[in-house]
Amino acid sequence: MVDEKYRTFWPRLGASIVDGFVFFLVFIAYLVFWKIDMPVFIRACGFLLYWFAQVTYSIGFHARFGQTLGKMATKVKVLDISERKLTLRQAVLRDSIPLLLVVIGVVQNFPAVLAGDDPFAHQASVKWDLNTTLQLIGGFGWTLAEIITMVTNSKRRAIHDFIARSIVVRIPEPSEHPEVLAA
């Protein structure tokens, strides 16, 4: 039986959707950015800002608040395994795999950006090479492993929670635990 405070699968999925919508808007802004004629240096800075925005957002919000905007909306919070505030180090560790994938993506696409090409313009006609196949399988495999890990342990910890020694809990409603308000 899973304790109620650890029943976070659906709220975490909802948080991912909310955060995904936020970054869909950032992506639209990025596409508009590429339509404006500007020096390559500014495009390169915009490219780096876009690629690192999501992982920086996640690390920063988790370190500062224990929550992203999505987690705030769905009333769940990331804490240290001892259920204290998450540290910056833990927030970085929690996002270490996405951070690694961002670095790989930047390394792969930055030469095209420096040449003045929009890396997303080429993604509509992706050639199915070994690199593309490995990225898709790796991304799907990681997501599947995260979900399987989360639903098969009593505290609903995903792999990234084990890496960072973190846990996600439901935030109780004030009426459920009035003693929390007094603290």
Residue 183 has pLDDT above 70, yes or no: no
Least confident of 1-10, 22-31, 105-114, 125-134: 125-134
Q: Are 24 and 15 in contact (CB under 8 A)?
A: no
Sign of the CA dihedral with 88 first, then 161, 23, and 36 last: positive
**What average pLDDT is seen over the chain?**
88
Q: Single out the residue of 96, 101, 77, 86 nearest to residue 172, CA to CA.
A: 77
pLDDT in tens, 156-169: 999 999 999 999 99
The pLDDT value given to residue 108: 85
Could you give the angle at which helices 130-151 and 9-35 cross, rounded to 10 degrees? 150
Separation in Å, CA 55 to CA 18, 83, 175, 180: 15, 23, 34, 31
Query: Which pLDDT score is estimated for 126?
Result: 55
Confidence of residue 170 (pLDDT cuts 50, 70, 90): very high
Query: What's the rounded Cα separation, in Å, for the pair 82 and 63?
Result: 15
The whole model's pTM is what?
Answer: 0.85
